[in-house]
Amino acid sequence: MKTSKGFAALFAALTLAATATPALSAKPPNWTATVAVAEDGAHTLGNPEAKVQVSEFVSYTCPHCANFQKQAEAPLRLAYVMPGKVSVRVVHFVRDPVDLSVSLLVQCGDPKGFFARHHTFLTSQSKWLAKAGKLSKAQRDRWTGGDFAAGMRAIASDLGFYDIMAHRGIDRSSVNRCLADSALAQKITAQRDEAKRLGVPGTPSFAIGGKLIDLVYDWPTLDAAIKGSL
């Protein structure tokens, strides 16, 4: 009888350990690979329940936006997004046809690759903007002088965007389909309405929890604002 009770107790203990093991060994979510796309086309990276939810208003032809991306990419992801403390939402603030073409291309392909394409175009901005500065007025007039899709393709050809997208695994025909998506172009352009409503003065600008943060335009000041909100 004692032996039977002993086996029963041992079995119960082993069962409890077995049920507890998966919870103890479960890996935390990889929030840096978690991407959500809203109806308005805005992309969010990270924990949807993060305590601090940052919105970044960005223009791809804005040098300050490129500088911010280079400063913020690693520390923002590693210190805040990865542990689920902060989510980052990118809102397009389209200023010109080149900006619009890049906005279409970062949304071209798997949504999970959006933030990688976003990073690629911003960190290579100085190279393709330099190409734009060397073009004649006649060449630039091709961007806006006729059919929408033709103008977007001209920009992509002139500034080397087909090569950038090829390095991200997206072929020319797929790029052309994305550049011809006028409905998405309208949706992207309409994201400026949120910026107007919040009083965004320029790019980059940031909101936390839907409220614009004054005098925050770079990584050190945004870092301080995030720490103050955690």
| CATH code (residue 103) | 1.10.40.110
Any idea which of 104-113, 115-124, 132-141 has the lowest mean pLDDT? Answer: 132-141
Say if 8 falls within a structural domain.
no
CB atoms within 10 A of CB 59: 23
Domain count, the chain: 1
Say if 15 falls within a structural domain.
no
How far is it, in rounded angstroms, from Cα 216 to Cα 223?
9
Say if 18 falls within a structural domain.
no
Say if 19 falls within a structural domain.
no
Q: What is the pLDDT of residue 27?
A: 77
Chain-centre distance for alpha carbon 128:
20
Any idea which of 25-34, 75-84, 133-142, 161-170 has the lowest mean pLDDT? Answer: 25-34
Any idea which of 11-15, 57-61, 162-166 has the lowest mean pLDDT? Answer: 11-15
Mean of pLDDT values over 89-100:
97
pTM: 0.87
Q: What is the pLDDT of residue 21?
A: 45
Q: What is the pLDDT of residue 25?
A: 54
| Percent of all residues in the chain with a pLDDT value above 70, rounded to a whole number | 89
The CA distances from residue 7 to 19, 20, 22, 90, in Å, are 18, 20, 24, 59
Asked whether the predicted pLDDT for residue 12 surpasses 50, the reply is no
Residue pair 45/34 in contact by the 8 Å Cβ criterion: yes
Domain span holding position 35: 31-229
Say if 13 falls within a structural domain.
no
Say if 73 falls within a structural domain.
yes
Any idea which of 18-27, 176-185, 196-205 has the lowest mean pLDDT? Answer: 18-27
pLDDT band for 19, please (50, 70, 90 cuts): very low
The residue with greater pLDDT, 228 or 4, is 228
One-letter amino acid identity for 46?
A: G
Round the CA-based radius of gyration of the chain to a whole number and report it.
Answer: 23
Say if 212 falls within a structural domain.
yes
Mean of pLDDT values over 137-143:
92
Any idea which of 16-20, 54-58, 69-73, 134-138 has the lowest mean pLDDT? Answer: 16-20
- Four-residue CA torsion sign, 47, 49, 52, 54: positive
Q: What is the pLDDT of residue 28?
A: 78
Say if 50 falls within a structural domain.
yes
How far is it, in rounded angstroms, from Cα 117 to Cα 178?
14
* Residue pLDDT, tens place only, 23-40: 455 677 889 999 999 999
